[in-house]
Structure 1
Amino acid sequence: MLPNPPSGALSRVLRRIGVAVLGVALPLTLAPQDHTSAAAGPIIPLPGNPLAAHPWGVYLGPQDMAWEPWTKATGRKKELLDKIVLQPKAQWYGKWVADRDIADRIHKLVASATGGDPDVMVQMAIFRMVPWEGNDRVCNRLPTTAEVASYKKWVRNAAAAIGSTYVAMILQPDGPFALCAKNGSKLPSRMIRYAAKTFSANPNTTIYIDAGAADWNRSNPKTALKILMPAGISMVRGFAFNSTHYDSVAEEVDYGAAVAQALAEKGILDKHFVVNTSSNGQPFRGYTYKGPDFDNAYTCQDKTQHHCVTLGIPPTTDVANPAWGLTLGQRLKAAAYADGYLWFGRPWLFDQASPFVMKRALTLARTTPWQ
C-alpha cells in the first residue's frame, strides 16, 4: 500500500520543484544526511506570505531598551550594537503599559518604524495577560473580573491604534502557561481568543499565537493544539515558536510542520508559523540546560562554543535558504509552512525582560556565527 501522500501546502511546494506527489512519503522521512544536489538548490516558498509582501521597519527610540546605549556608543562597541539595534524586531507591550497609554506607545512605534510609509510592516509582541508567569502565575490564580475588563480595554485601545498599519504580531509569548491555569480553567485561553478576534478585525494585522517551543512541548503536536485551539488559531495566520527558548531552527521547523499538519487534520487548514531566531545562534534544548536561571542562560564566549546563547539567523522570510543548514526535508517543510524567522526574543535584556545589559549584548553580538 502506498504511503499517504503529502497534502496542502507541502504538496504544493513539492509540485513547484518538480517532485511527484503521488505515493511520496512526507519529508518527515528524509534522513539528516540527505544533502543531495537538490538540498543545495533553490526552494522557493509558496506565494501569499504576508510577511514577504512588505518591507520591515526598524524602530529607533526609547521603547527599545538597547536604543539609548547604542546612541551613546562609539567605535567597536557601536558596530557590535548595530547587530541588535538595526535589525527589525518585535517591540513588546504588556501590563507595564497602562490602558490609557498603549495607543500613544503604538503610534510612536509606527511613526518611527515606518517613517510615514504606509507600506512598511511593524512588528510587536503582545504580552498583556495578568497573571501569567513569574511571581504572579496563572498556575496559582486566575484573572479577576477587574483584570479581565482591563485586559479587554487595553486590547481594544491597542487594536484601534494599529488601525490599518501593516503589523506582524506575536500574541502572548510563553503560550504553554495557558495549560497550567488554576483548576484547569480556560479563562486565560478565552482572553487570548478575545485578543485574537479583536486584532484580526484589523485589515492588515498578521497574528501568530505563541505555542511555546519544540523542546518545551517535547515535540508533541497535541500539546501545541491544546494551546492554540481554544486561543483562536482558526481566526489568525498561524502560530509562533521559541520566543524565550534557544531551540534550533531545524527542530522548530520539524515541529511547526507537524503542528500545522495536526491542525489540518482537525479541519483548521493553511496555518503557518514563525520562529524566533534572536537567541539561538548556537542552539540547545531547554531540558538539557544545566546552568542557573534559564531565562538568563549562559552566553557564548567565542564563535566556536556550542550550546550557549548568541544571536541567531537575522530576520528573514527566506526560510528555505540552504545557508541555514537545514536538510532537504526541513527546507521543504519551511517553504510550505514557515512565514519567517523573526526576532521577537530579547536575549540582550536581563532575564529577557529588563533591564538592558551592555556586557551581555556585546557578547551576543561578538560571538554570533550569523553576522
Structure 2
Amino acid sequence: MTRPIGNPPPTEPPAVPPRGSRFRKAVAFGLAAGLAATGIALSTGLTAGAAAPAGLPAATQLYKDPDSQVARWVAANPGDSRRPVIARRIASQPQAIWFSNYRPTTVTGDVRAITTAAGQVPVLAVYEIPNRDCGGASAGGAPDLASYDAWVRDFAAGLGSGQSIIILEPDSIALTTCLTAQQQADRFASLSRAGSAIHAAAPNAKVYLDGGHSAWNSASEQANRLRSAGILTSADGLFTNVSNFNTTSNEVNFAKNVLAALGNPANLHAVIDTSRNGNGPAGGGEWCDPSGRAIGTYPTTDTGDQAIDAFLWVKPPGEADGCAGAAGTFLPDIAYALASAAPSDPVPPATTPPTTPPTTTPPTTPPPTTEPPTTPPPTGAACSVSYKIASAWTGGFTADVTVRNTGSAAVNGWSLAWSFPGDQKITSAWNAKATQSGAAVTATDLGYNGTIAAGGSTAFGFQGTASGSGSPTAFTLNGASCAVS
C-alpha cells in the first residue's frame, strides 16, 4: 500500500509588508533573522504554575519507518562513500511520517498500515487543512473544512489503541495572513474538532497543535491563537520549529513562554523539531537549503525538562527545501552535509549484558594505539584547490572548498592550510575540522573522508565572520603547495 507521505511545509514568519513570492520556491522553509523580543521578555515569568509531569515517558521508543526516503537510499547505495555517515546519523533515527496527500478513500488503511506494524510510537504529521500555506508553494489539502473534518475522522480511525504522536497541521495557526477573521475562526474550530476526533478514536494518541517558532509570532499572540483552536480542551500541547533551524534553547524558552501565557495548564506540554537546528539558523536570513546547517539533538522523549515531551525529527533531514533540488526530494549531498556536521553519532540504546561469560578467549595482542601516518602528496603539482564564496551578507559569509588529488597516489589523511587576506574568522565547519590562529587556518579530515584517491577529490565548507574581504590565494596540502583553480 502506498503511504501518503508528502512534502513537509515551510514555516516562515510573516514579512512586513506582506511577503511576496520570493519567500517560497517549491516547498521551502522559512527562517527569521532573530529571536522574537517578546519571547525573551516572557522567559522570566515562568514561576506561575508548576510544570506538569511529562506527557510521554522518558523511555518511549519512537518508530523508525523502514520505507522512508533515506532508508531506501541507504539500501540502494551500499558502495557510496557518503552512506556510512548518512546511515549512522540519519537513517538510524525515527522521523515523522507525513500525511499531505488528500486520499479520503485510503487514509484509514494507510494509517493502520503504520500503526499496526510499528510496535513502537510513530510520529505522524497531518498536513491537509484547506488553504494550507496560504496558497503558497505547499498549497493544497482538503477541498473544504467539511471534507477535512471527515478526512480527519477517517485518519483517526486508523490509529488504533496504541500510543502515537500527532503533529497536527504545521503552519495552520501561526500562518493565517490569507484568511479573513471568519475564515480564521472557522479553521480554528475545525482544528479543535480534529483534536477531539483523534482523542475519541485513539485515547492514547498525543495531539500537538501548531506553535510556530521562536522568531515568528510573540508567545502571547501564539497562545491566544492556540486557545482559539481548542488547545485547552482537545490537544496535549504544541509543537515548534517544524522545518526550521532555530536553536533548541530558543525553542524551549519560547515554548515555555507560550505555555505560561496559556496559564501553564497541567495537561499541556511541547515538542520541538530538532532535525536541522544543530548549528542554529543561517546568517542573513537564508532559509532555502542553506549551507552550514547540521542535524540537531537526536529524537528522544528523554528531554530532562518536564515541560518538553520530546525532541523530534519532524522535517526529515536530507529532503530538499526546493533550491538544491525539487522540494521534498531526498538529496544525499544535503543529508551528508547535515550529518557530517553533527558532533557525534547517536548513542546506541542500552543493552543488558549476557549473564553467561563468553567462551572465546580475547586476543592477547592489544590493538595499535597510534593512528596510521598521513601520506603526503607526491612532489610537484599534486593537488589543486577550488575556493568559492557560497553566500555572503554584512559581516559574514559561507565558503565551499574542493580539494583534488592530481597526483598518482592516494592521500591518506589530509591537512589543508591557508591564510586569510583579511580579518576573517571561521565560526563553524562541515566535512572538516577547522582551527585558526590569527589569519592562518588549517582544515583536517574527519576520518571517514580522510582518503583522497589519485584523481579524486573531497569537499568541505565553513561559515565565518568578516570585516575585510578577499579570498585566499595559496594553499598547501600536507605541506605541499597546491594549484588554485
Per the normalisation by structure 1, the TM-score is: 0.71
Residue 191 of structure 1 aligns with which residue?
A: 190
Residue 86 of structure 1 aligns with which residue?
A: 92
1:110 aligns with 2:115: yes
1:56 aligned residue (35, 59, 62): 62
C-alpha displacement of 1:101: 1.7
Matched AA of 1:197: S
- Partner of 1:170, secondary structure, is strand
- Partner of 1:207, secondary structure, is strand
Residue 17 of structure 2 aligns with which residue?
A: none
1:65-111 CA distance string (max 9 Å, x none): 222212112254332222222211111112x1411121222122224
Contact 1:263 1:269 in 2 (8 A): no
Q: Distance in 2 between matches of 1:181 and 1:368?
A: 38
Kindly report which structure 2 residues correspond to 1:105-254, keeping only aligned pairs within 5 A, or say none.
105-114=110-119, 120-133=120-133, 135-136=135-136, 147-184=144-181, 185=183, 186-201=185-200, 202-217=202-217, 220-234=218-232, 235-254=234-253
Matched AA of 1:204: N
Q: Distance in 1 between matches of 2:45 and 2:215?
A: 27
C-alpha displacement of 1:272: 0.7
The alpha-carbon distance between structure 1 residues 251 and 154, as it changes in their structure 2 partners (threshold 3 A), is same
The alpha-carbon distance between structure 1 residues 57 and 360, as it changes in their structure 2 partners (threshold 3 A), is same
Q: Distance in 2 between matches of 1:87 and 1:166?
A: 18
Query: Which structure is higher in strand share?
Result: 2
Q: Distance in 1 between matches of 2:167 and 2:106?
A: 20
1:299 aligned residue (273, 286, 291): 291
The alpha-carbon distance between structure 1 residues 113 and 77, as it changes in their structure 2 partners (threshold 3 A), is farther
Q: Distance in 2 between matches of 1:237 and 1:369?
A: 32
Residue 74 of structure 2 aligns with which residue?
A: 70
Matched AA of 2:131: P
The alpha-carbon distance between structure 1 residues 360 and 150, as it changes in their structure 2 partners (threshold 3 A), is same
C-alpha displacement of 1:172: 0.8
Query: Which structure is higher in helix share?
Result: 1
Contact 1:126 1:170 in 2 (8 A): yes
1:17-43 CA distance string (max 9 Å, x none): xxxxxxxxxxxxxxxxxxxxxxxxxxx
C-alpha displacement of 1:160: 0.4
- Partner of 2:213, secondary structure, is coil
- Partner of 1:169, secondary structure, is strand
Kindly report which structure 2 residues correspond to 1:28-39, keeping only aligned pairs within 5 A, or say none.
none
The alpha-carbon distance between structure 1 residues 99 and 4, as it changes in their structure 2 partners (threshold 3 A), is closer
Contact 1:129 1:172 in 2 (8 A): yes
1:289 aligns with 2:284: yes
Q: Distance in 1 between matches of 2:170 and 2:92?
A: 23
Residue 18 of structure 1 aligns with which residue?
A: none
Contact 1:122 1:167 in 2 (8 A): yes
1:342 aligns with 2:312: yes
Contact 1:178 1:227 in 2 (8 A): no
C-alpha displacement of 1:361: 1.3
The alpha-carbon distance between structure 1 residues 269 and 137, as it changes in their structure 2 partners (threshold 3 A), is farther
The alpha-carbon distance between structure 1 residues 281 and 148, as it changes in their structure 2 partners (threshold 3 A), is same
C-alpha displacement of 1:174: 2.1
- Partner of 1:98, secondary structure, is coil
Q: Distance in 2 between matches of 1:113 and 1:370?
A: 27
Matched AA of 1:272: H
- Partner of 2:261, secondary structure, is helix
- Partner of 1:340, secondary structure, is strand
Q: Distance in 1 between matches of 2:108 and 2:69?
A: 19
1:334-370 CA distance string (max 9 Å, x none): x231111111123411227512122111211111224
- Partner of 1:109, secondary structure, is helix
- Partner of 1:192, secondary structure, is helix
C-alpha displacement of 1:142: 11
Residue 50 of structure 2 aligns with which residue?
A: 9
Contact 2:132 2:141 in 1 (8 A): no
Residue 39 of structure 1 aligns with which residue?
A: none
The alpha-carbon distance between structure 1 residues 318 and 289, as it changes in their structure 2 partners (threshold 3 A), is farther
Q: Which has the larger radius of gyration?
A: 2
Percent identity among equivalent residues? Answer: 24
Gaps of 5+ in 1: 11-45, 115-119, 301-308, 321-334
1:360 aligns with 2:334: yes
1:276-309 CA distance string (max 9 Å, x none): 0001010027xx5343xx2x23122xxxxxxxx2
Contact 1:242 1:275 in 2 (8 A): yes
- Partner of 1:198, secondary structure, is helix
Q: Distance in 1 between matches of 2:259 and 2:178?
A: 25
Q: How many residues align?
A: 292
Gaps of 5+ in 2: 1-43, 346-485
Residue 20 of structure 1 aligns with which residue?
A: none
Q: Distance in 1 between matches of 2:174 and 2:60?
A: 32
Contact 2:129 2:169 in 1 (8 A): yes
- Partner of 2:263, secondary structure, is helix
Contact 1:312 1:370 in 2 (8 A): no
- Partner of 1:182, secondary structure, is coil
